[in-house]
Amino acid sequence: MKYCTRCLFPETKPDLFFDEQGVCSACVAAEEKTQIDWEQRRKDFFKIIEHYRSKNPTGYDCIVPVSGGKDSTYQAYYMKKVCGLNPLCVCFETTAVTEIGQHNLDNLAEMGMDVIHFKKNDEVYRKMVIESFKRVGDEMWPNHIGIFTIPVMFAVKFNIPLLIWGENPQQEYGGPLESIQNKVLSRRWLEEFGGLLGNRIQDMIGVDGITEKELTPYFYPSDEDIERVGVTGLFLGHYFFWDARKQLEIVKEHGFRVSETPVEGTYTNYENLDEKIVGLHDYLKFVKYGFGRATDHACIDIRNNRITREEGLDLVKKYDGKYPHYAVESFIEYTGMSKQEVDEVIDSYTNTILFTQDETGRFLRDSDGNLVRNFEIA
């Protein structure tokens, strides 16, 4: 398998491109970020938000979609404490929240934010979790829909046109040039890069009796409503150099908590703290493409000169691709599926080129349930 010569992204990563020197598009984008006039970008941003600042002294100036994670906490902090705006934080309830995740979400109110916490219809949501797990190999699919539609829905209903998102994932993790340079999160961005995996919310109508009305929260507002309100979603990472580790230190000073141990599937302790089953999502990426969350984190740390490629390689070999026992147990508890059913679905998405099978087609695993690889991380 071919790897980027600077970081550790493999050629199997969707929407990743290599130049003639074997450098991936995410590393190229990271290098280009060092040439950006960030002071001018900052000035541009402050001009934009002045345009959107509410003329109503009791109104909200923007919506910040939040999960209680480090990034959205920083977004809310920046808009409130640095920009002096009055943000309305909107959270789409995650699948199975952790204790630390609930603390960090509640902490937003302690930081001086108003927070709307949209609690989903769990009966319908659970059906979508199971269906998307089986259909596209991603149990977090309905969550990815809700976190992008619910804040926009409230923007329309409350007539708050400006939404502030965080990083542009295509810029941080690699993607087509047009998407890397994008500063706006729109319906088109959601459909192309929002993790829909070729599935649409309309495809859930009729699944285990789900009706179209029950899916109302997951439909993006109409183009007419978007245009009437003038909804604009901006990536904060387009206007300010995005450094999650530095931003983490800031939000920790304001009550944000991290895990005492590394999060399942990686070596860091500050990301994916809010959700019990997200480790299964990361593992499914690993079985499909041969890399997981530890690779993502190592690549960012390499680009930010916090570790060398060799150090990143050691971390990836140690942490990437481990069977996510905690996430699977949590998923079983939430869905009622059996361990055998879950593993059968995982196997159906496991790459037969990347992982070893016996003569019967069964995937080989070590004593801890980890797949035997046909490739060397290099």
Considering the domain boundaries, does residue 137 fall inside one?
yes
For the cut 80, the answer to whether the pLDDT of residue 106 exceeds it is: yes
Examine the domain organization and report whether 290 and 227 are in the same domain.
Answer: no
Examine the domain organization and report whether 333 and 205 are in the same domain.
Answer: no
What the block records as the tokens of 324 is 């996510």
For residue 37, with 0-12 CB atoms within 10 Å meaning exposed, 13-18 middle and 19 or more buried, which class applies? exposed
Asked if 376 and 313 count as a contact pair (C-beta separation under 8 A), the reply is no
**Domain final position from 244, 272, 301:** 244
| Residue 58 binned pLDDT confidence (cut-offs 50, 70, 90) | confident
Considering the domain boundaries, does residue 376 fall inside one?
no
Q: Which tens digits make up the pLDDT trace of 206-248?
A: 999 999 999 999 998 988 899 899 999 898 999 999 999 999 9
Considering the domain boundaries, does residue 66 fall inside one?
yes
Considering the domain boundaries, does residue 128 fall inside one?
yes
| Average pLDDT over every residue of 290-318 | 97
Examine the domain organization and report whether 165 and 193 are in the same domain.
Answer: yes
DSSP letters, 265-305, are TSS-SSSS-SBSSHHHHHHHHHHHHS--HHHHHHHHHHHTT
Round to whole Å and give the CA distance between 288 and 357.
15
Number of domains forming the structure of the chain: 2
pLDDT value, residue 200: 87
Considering the domain boundaries, does residue 273 fall inside one?
yes
pLDDT value, residue 187: 58
Examine the domain organization and report whether 277 and 226 are in the same domain.
Answer: no
Examine the domain organization and report whether 213 and 151 are in the same domain.
Answer: yes
Examine the domain organization and report whether 113 and 194 are in the same domain.
Answer: yes
Round to whole Å and give the CA distance between 258 and 297.
16
Average pLDDT taken over every residue of the chain: 92
Work out the percent of the chain whose per-residue pLDDT is above 70: 92
Q: Which tens digits make up the pLDDT trace of 124-143?
A: 999 999 999 999 999 999 99
Examine the domain organization and report whether 213 and 119 are in the same domain.
Answer: yes
Examine the domain organization and report whether 200 and 292 are in the same domain.
Answer: no
| Average pLDDT over every residue of 15-23 | 94
Q: Per mean pLDDT, which range of 182-186, 315-319, 344-348 is the poorest?
A: 182-186
- Full residue range of the structural domain in which residue 300 is found: 261-348
Considering the domain boundaries, does residue 235 fall inside one?
yes
User: Across-strand partners of 88?
Assistant: 63, 114
Considering the domain boundaries, does residue 201 fall inside one?
yes
For the cut 80, the answer to whether the pLDDT of residue 25 exceeds it is: yes
pLDDT value, residue 174: 45
Q: Per mean pLDDT, which range of 198-202, 254-258, 307-311, 373-377 is the poorest?
A: 198-202
For residue 204, give the CATH number of its domain.
Answer: 3.40.50
Examine the domain organization and report whether 228 and 275 are in the same domain.
Answer: no
| Residue 169 binned pLDDT confidence (cut-offs 50, 70, 90) | low
User: Across-strand partners of 18?
Assistant: 24
| Residue 309 binned pLDDT confidence (cut-offs 50, 70, 90) | very high
Round to whole Å and give the CA distance between 254 and 142.
30
For the cut 70, the answer to whether the pLDDT of residue 287 exceeds it is: yes
For the cut 50, the answer to whether the pLDDT of residue 19 exceeds it is: yes
**Domain final position from 190, 217, 244:** 244
pLDDT value, residue 367: 94
**Domain final position from 179, 209, 244:** 244
Examine the domain organization and report whether 106 and 222 are in the same domain.
Answer: yes
Examine the domain organization and report whether 240 and 272 are in the same domain.
Answer: no
| Average pLDDT over every residue of 4-23 | 96
pLDDT value, residue 168: 72
Round to whole Å and give the CA distance between 213 and 128.
14
pTM, 2 dp: 0.91
pLDDT value, residue 181: 45
Considering the domain boundaries, does residue 12 fall inside one?
no
Round to whole Å and give the CA distance between 75 and 55.
22
For the cut 50, the answer to whether the pLDDT of residue 312 exceeds it is: yes
DSSP letters, 81-124, are IIS---EEEEEE--SSB-HHHHHHHHHHHHTT-EEEEE---HHH
Examine the domain organization and report whether 227 and 270 are in the same domain.
Answer: no
